[in-house]
Amino acid sequence: MFNLSSFLISWIVYSILLIYSLGVLCNYISDGRKLKFYYNGLFFVSFLFSLFAIISSDYYSYYDFIEKIQRLRMPEDVEMVYCLLLPFIDYDYFFFRLIMVVPIFILLYYIFKNYAFDNQTTLCIFVIFCLLSFSTAIRSSISDVLFYIGAFSLFRKKSLIRFVLLVVCAIGACFLHKSGFMLCVPLIISLAPLNKRWVIIATGLLPVVLFATKVIIEIIFDNYFRNSPYADYQAIQSGSVMLVYYLSNFLFFIMIGYTLWESRYLLETKGFMKSLYKFMFAAYYIWIVLLAQDVSRYVPARFLVHMMIPFSLLVGFTYTKSKTAYRNVVIVVSILMILTTEFSVFTKLREYLG
């Protein structure tokens, strides 16, 4: 099943996307007349990469996913929508991936066009930090883009119609991937009044939240994710995989935390960016709590993947509005993230080659 030449082509394309995106952030590519063309080209190549993302860790796992549905028809740990979809396309892997990736990138294009302060910068941040994981967890990704269509609409303007849209999108997101319900908690917090004093209080209550979360997670896994591989802690066997896991978590911890600090003034504003900030603060807080829980490492990893879109929007906004110091930090962390993801691809290649 593994094809070395296809893997290497996918890796080269991904590396070019990373280098180009870093070049834009460093202002090596800054011709305003061509940026729109470059943006559309970067977006399209990112779409093609995601469609044929052989270097992503779940690319070949989806063959097993489809085979499982074909064999069992209605596996209890698989969302029903995919059990109903796959027979119509004769369990064809390429068409399944096409059906998933096309709407993901159409909705992502809409989100960046309508909600990104600077869509070029935002897309480059997304490519460097998020594209590989977004192309890996495609069921989670399609759930995310649908959810954020409703959430961001309500962030921009509170109204009954937009709230109904959010409810519909949130329900649809949970049907597309069970973990979509994870987004509901930071969403609720983002819609509540939150100022700097509440941020300090929330930080002080962290020990209490850690204990309460442990109880809640046990209830969720006993009733909602029964027999799921996410239910038990899974130690990382490979030293190289462990290195990638901890490095990427550390880089996201620094990048999100520093961005929240740099853009804390948004709590004193109104509108979309304030709601986005509150959502990211709540999501960051929950992610830290999940990292401390005695469950599979895939639980906080999955939650982090769900944060990719608002992460890109907030970092893109802060990068555009901030001064040199913040930009330098973003560039340094971006370089480290590129090195980490490149090493993770190399690790995956070694695994395939035995």
Q: Is 51 helix (H, G, I), strand (E, B) or coil?
A: helix
CB atoms within 10 A of CB 280: 23
* Count of residues in the chain: 354
Residues of the chain whose pLDDT is less than 70?
1-2, 28-37, 76, 195-196, 198-199, 203, 218, 220-238, 294-296, 354
- C-alpha–C-alpha distance, residues 249 and 323, integer Å: 25
**pLDDT for res 330:** 94
Structure tokens at 164: 């109904």
C-alpha closest to that of 248 among 328, 348, 125, 340: 340
**pLDDT for res 235:** 46
| Alpha-carbon distances, residue 229 vs 25, 61, 122, 296 (angstroms) | 38, 14, 33, 8
Per DSSP, which regions of the chain are E strands?
Answer: none
This prediction has a pTM of: 0.88
C-alpha closest to that of 164 among 175, 150, 178, 147: 150
**pLDDT for res 66:** 85
- C-alpha–C-alpha distance, residues 220 and 208, integer Å: 19
